[in-house]
């Protein structure tokens, strides 16, 4: 995998004279890094990329210390996905199993959880009933935000199995307002309904030139989207220290402890000497 991969972006904008809100996600770099980190086959790589795009789209309005976690669990096919992104655009994800076919229809549940620090501030669950992730996420947003919206997700691989394109678009109709322009639902559907059949790469090219569905775009914010895990030696040691004296003593007697982060596969090693120090700290407290 090339280390020169471009990072992703989350772009927020108004469209159609401020009658719709747009969120555009470009996630090829983070999606390819997730594929490489977890050794994902083609089907798993596409599902993981779509899940990461979906997570980034839903995170466009978080701020400060807020984080968004998306979990997707399906029975048909059997799949577990988790992604987490913060307000700085640091994104990490994991999908299992690593080798699975790409399925156009999924059945299971999508969970979206917003947190601030250690406090959970929102949790929403949407069932996925023999539909693709694009449709399931549209239903989730419709249920949680009560607004008309169109959403697209697209992930494509090259001949070698690497991610060559990963992007998503969300367009939401802004509600009726006495002071600002607005469009009714019929006009919204007539103007933007064709986006569901349009080629995603063409849509992103038009957006880059300030046009979306033939309407002008007013760019509000561009945020970097980067593959970045929050694991660290210090966090691993805090976790080990919480296990109790018996566990710490057993690991010390074995000579060392090794913890592998399930998001990035980084192996963190805690030496026998450090385990002795952690045990002493635990006993002192």
Across residues 22-31, what is the average pLDDT? 96
Residue 169 phi/psi, 5-degree rounding, is -135, 135
Domains and CATH numbers, the chain: 8-227 (3.55.30.10), 233-284 (3.90.1280.10)
Integer-rounded Cα radius of gyration of the chain:
21
- CB burial string 7-26: b at 16+ within 10 A, e below: bbbbbbbbbbeebbbbbbbb
Across residues 213-239, what is the average pLDDT? 90
Across residues 266-275, what is the average pLDDT? 88
Beta-carbon contacts of 135 under 8 Å, excluding residues fewer than 6 positions away, are none
Predicted TM-score of the model (pTM): 0.88
pLDDT mean across residues, the chain: 90
Beta-carbon contacts of 124 under 8 Å, excluding residues fewer than 6 positions away, are 111, 112, 113, 140, 143, 144
Could you write out the DSSP letters of every residue in 162-206? -EEEEEEEEEEEPPP-SSS----HHHHHHHHGGGGTS-HHHHHHH
Whether 116 has a pLDDT exceeding 60, the answer reads yes
Q: Are strands 90-96 and 215-227 parallel, antiparallel or unpaired?
A: parallel
CB atoms within 10 A of CB 65: 12
3-state secondary structure of 33: helix
Q: CA 82 → CA 43, 47, 49, 207, distances in Å? A: 16, 11, 11, 29
Whether 283 has a pLDDT exceeding 70, the answer reads yes
Across residues 222-231, what is the average pLDDT? 90
Q: What is the pLDDT, as a whole number, of residue 2?
A: 46
């Amino acid at each position: 995998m090339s280390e020169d991969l471009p990072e992703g972006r989350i772009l927020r904008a108004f469209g159609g004279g401020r009658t719709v809100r747009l969120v555009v996600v470009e996630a090829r770099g983070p999606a390819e890094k997730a594929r490489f980190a977890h050794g994902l086959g083609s089907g798993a790589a596409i599902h993981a990329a779509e899940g990461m795009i979906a997570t980034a789209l839903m995170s466009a309005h978080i701020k400060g210390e807020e984080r968004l976690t998306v979990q997707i669990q399906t029975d048909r096919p059997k799949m577990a996905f988790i992604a987490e992104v913060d307000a700085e655009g640091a994104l990490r994800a994991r999908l299992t199993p690593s080798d699975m076919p790409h399925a156009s229809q999924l059945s299971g549940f999508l969970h979206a959880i917003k947190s601030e620090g250690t406090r959970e501030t929102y949790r929403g669950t949407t069932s996925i009933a023999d539909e693709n992730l694009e449709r399931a996420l549209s239903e989730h947003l419709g249920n949680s935000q009560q607004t008309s919206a169109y959403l697209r997700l697209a992930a494509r691989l090259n001949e070698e199995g690497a991610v060559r394109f990963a992007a998503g678009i969300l367009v939401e109709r802004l509600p009726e307002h006495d002071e600002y322009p607005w469009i009714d639902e019929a006009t919204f559907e007539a103007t933007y309904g064709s986006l569901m059949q349009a080629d995603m790469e063409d849509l992103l090219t038009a957006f880059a030139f300030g046009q979306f569905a033939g309407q002008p775009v007013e760019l509000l914010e561009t945020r970097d989207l980067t593959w970045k895990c929050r694991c660290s030696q210090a966090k691993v040691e805090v976790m080990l220290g919480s296990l109790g004296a018996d566990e710490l003593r057993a690991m010390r007697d074995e000579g060392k402890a090794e913890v592998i982060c399930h998001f990035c596969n980084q192996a963190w090693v805690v030496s026998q000497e450090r385990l002795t120090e952690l045990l002493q700290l635990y006993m002192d407290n």
